[in-house]
Structure 1
Amino acid sequence: MAREIFVDLSSFQKDLTVDHYKKLGVKKAIVKISESTNYVNPYIHDLIDKAAAGGVNGFAFYHFGRFTNDSQAVVEAKCFIDKSKGKVNVKPGTLMILDAEINDMPTSSVIAFLKVLRDAGFKTGFYTYKYMLPKFNLEAIKPYMDWFWLAAYPTQGPADKNPDFNYFPSAKNVDAWQYTDNLLGFKVDGSITVTDNGNKLFNASYNANGSASSQPSKPSIKPTPAQPKTWTDVQGMTWHEEHGTFITGGAINLRWGANTQSTLIATLPAGSEVKYNAWARDNAGRVWLQQPRENGHDGYLVGRVGTEAWGTFK
């Protein structure tokens, strides 16, 4: 079989240009749609349009899971589907992937998430890191996943398009291997398909025309729209793009979601500098700041309540 290199895209790749994609020379990409129930990637259309203009002709989509029980998994899966339909008009047959990277995600909840996707007519994918595999019962998940994508990085730093298979992760049922987080020095994750199934599902997935078909089609390229300056998440909070630095005036909780019940990442001490890229105000008058983090994930903290700033903005 002919192995194929592909990339995955989130807000961290928003600055890639059409020329960058041409230099990468990939034909397939996986785009982040959502995370938990309160984040939707605001750059989805821009990423797809530029990638398509740079030669990408097939897309799949992923959701970063934050659920820790079955009922929460169902809610997140439905959110993923709703946002994918609303943002990119996904059709049945499209490959839709769960990104499972948190420590306390049960196997039963992974299955519940994938079942919602499959019942809605989508092909299902499961992604995680090699070191996390012991936390999941892969044999139990296997009947519910159509595509298994595993991450394991043999080296640090830029990697070319010829991964060293001496370091291939020794796990069952792997269809694609993510072997670098810095393909050709462009700071984008690079993966390679390793089975016929790995190629087949991409070729049956979404293309830039917004359809799913058994053969990839040449995309029709639309003019790249201006990057959105505001967007509304699933909680109804309106986010405003703004880039700055917030210096905490006291100890402030940093969370995975923009609400006080979200999982705690850390408690930042006074004087911590936080780079943020957006803000939103909740119904209680709290102004939340969005902090971009590794692999396209975001953290959230309160920077102001009413008119009282909880630190210094610059």
Structure 2
Amino acid sequence: MTMYTVDVYSGSSDDIIRDPHAEGVIVKATQGMTYVNPKCNHQWDLAGSLGKKRGLYHYAGGGNPVSEAQFFINNIKNYVGQGILILDWEAYQNSAWGNANWARQFVDEVHRLTNVWPIIYVQESVLWQVANCANDCGVWVAKYASMTWYSWTLPQMNVSAGAFKVLTGWQYTGGDMDRSIWYLDEAGWDRLANPNGTKAKIKVPAPATQPAPKPQGEAAWTDSIGDTWHSESGTFTSNTAINLRWGAKTNSSVIGTLPAGSVVRYDAWSLHNGFVWVRQPRANGQYGYLATGEASNGKRTSYWGAFK
């Protein structure tokens, strides 16, 4: 048996949820440790009113995986047992991309809190990054024939499940909408959502420590990966091209390369791993991070621009 689904986020039209081909709807719930989809409850309720199977996903931000799992479950605890749970593992806005242990820690914490193993969404080419979850979790693989495959018809192509051996789901379009086929029936969906068949007993954790906002009244704080940040509002004007990243590490995903003369407003700075970093507030509670020069022994040793 198979089922067809769509997945949605805050920018998705309700028409996608109403599409008669979709037997299930998977809703973005949270991202990182600060973002909650403002339309999550509406999209969840609409899908339920249409009699569709449902799921909820967390988009990995690359912070502390245990804290992100707790943030996810704290925000969807009333829905646990009613829909499948999913970890969305992608490169964009994920500072832990390439870390083959991050997903394992996340799914272990979700299971500890809910007794449910989440499905892992990942592109086929990086299945290796989540391979150590294969004994417990299902896998939902993204692989498209093209970005203009605007059809519910499956393209003829091979899709690997890697260490997972079998596909739980396959997302095969991502242009006009995200369409997927799942290799299970409605009863199988329900078993993934609620393996014990009983009302979920959630061990609600204490609110996770947020790495982004500084504590009120404090000039400095330590984030979830041990780096010390100092509150300071100002601007930095670069004198060379510099990468703006989703994390304050040189291996964090790049948002974009800023040309010389770029002006970046920042609200905090940190000296770690040989660089001077500043933090740029962005939309939806997100932050960008910019290396502004080199540091040694806790002191700035070079500047790649000017501060105001």
Counterpart-to-counterpart distance in 2, 1:126 and 1:234? 24
Q: CA 1:291–1:67 in 2, change beyond 3 Å: closer, same or farther?
A: closer
Counterpart-to-counterpart distance in 1, 2:69 and 2:146? 33
Task: Name the counterpart of 1:150.
Answer: 141
Question: Does 1:91 pair with 2:80?
Answer: yes
Counterpart-to-counterpart distance in 1, 2:70 and 2:284? 25
Counterpart contact for 1:30–1:60, Cα < 8 Å? yes
The AA in structure 1 aligned to 2:109 is: V
Task: Name the counterpart of 1:178.
Answer: 171
TM-superposed deviation, 1:110: 1.9
Counterpart-to-counterpart distance in 2, 1:74 and 1:42? 23
Identity over aligned pairs, percent: 25
The AA in structure 2 aligned to 1:170 is: S
Secondary structure at the aligned position of 1:32 is classed as strand
CA displacement 1:265-307 (0-9 Å, x = unmatched): 23423688xxxxxxxx9699x8823289xxxxx77489xxxxx
Counterpart contact for 1:39–1:234, Cα < 8 Å? no
Task: Name the counterpart of 2:105.
Answer: 112
CA displacement 1:191-219 (0-9 Å, x = unmatched): 001245xx44433577xxxx99969xxxx
Counterpart-to-counterpart distance in 2, 1:234 and 1:58? 32
TM normalised by structure 1 equals: 0.61
CA RMSD of aligned residues (A): 4.1
CA displacement 1:62-84 (0-9 Å, x = unmatched): 1122337xxx2212111211122
Structure 1 unaligned regions, length at least 5: 216-232, 238-247, 273-280, 293-297, 303-314
Task: Name the counterpart of 1:127.
Answer: 121
The AA in structure 2 aligned to 1:8 is: D
Question: Does 1:64 pair with 2:56?
Answer: no
Structure 2 unaligned regions, length at least 5: 92-96, 199-208, 214-235, 270-278, 291-308
CA displacement 1:141-176 (0-9 Å, x = unmatched): 22221x221111012214211202x31303322111
Secondary structure at the aligned position of 1:75 is classed as helix
Counterpart contact for 1:61–1:96, Cα < 8 Å? yes
CA displacement 1:46-65 (0-9 Å, x = unmatched): 32234445x25221111122
TM-superposed deviation, 1:116: 1.0
Task: Name the counterpart of 1:12.
Answer: 11
Q: CA 1:65–1:134 in 2, change beyond 3 Å: closer, same or farther?
A: same
TM-superposed deviation, 1:36: 1.8
Task: Name the counterpart of 1:256.
Answer: 246
Secondary structure at the aligned position of 1:12 is classed as coil
Counterpart-to-counterpart distance in 2, 1:301 and 1:134? 27
The AA in structure 2 aligned to 1:122 is: V
Counterpart-to-counterpart distance in 2, 1:264 and 1:44? 26
Q: CA 1:213–1:122 in 2, change beyond 3 Å: closer, same or farther?
A: closer
TM-superposed deviation, 1:132: 0.9
Task: Name the counterpart of 1:193.
Answer: 182
Counterpart contact for 2:16–2:177, Cα < 8 Å? no
The AA in structure 2 aligned to 1:58 is: K
How many equivalent residue pairs? 239
Q: CA 1:236–1:168 in 2, change beyond 3 Å: closer, same or farther?
A: same
Counterpart-to-counterpart distance in 2, 1:168 and 1:11? 31
Counterpart-to-counterpart distance in 1, 2:59 and 2:106? 12
TM-superposed deviation, 1:189: 0.8
Task: Name the counterpart of 1:163.
Answer: 154
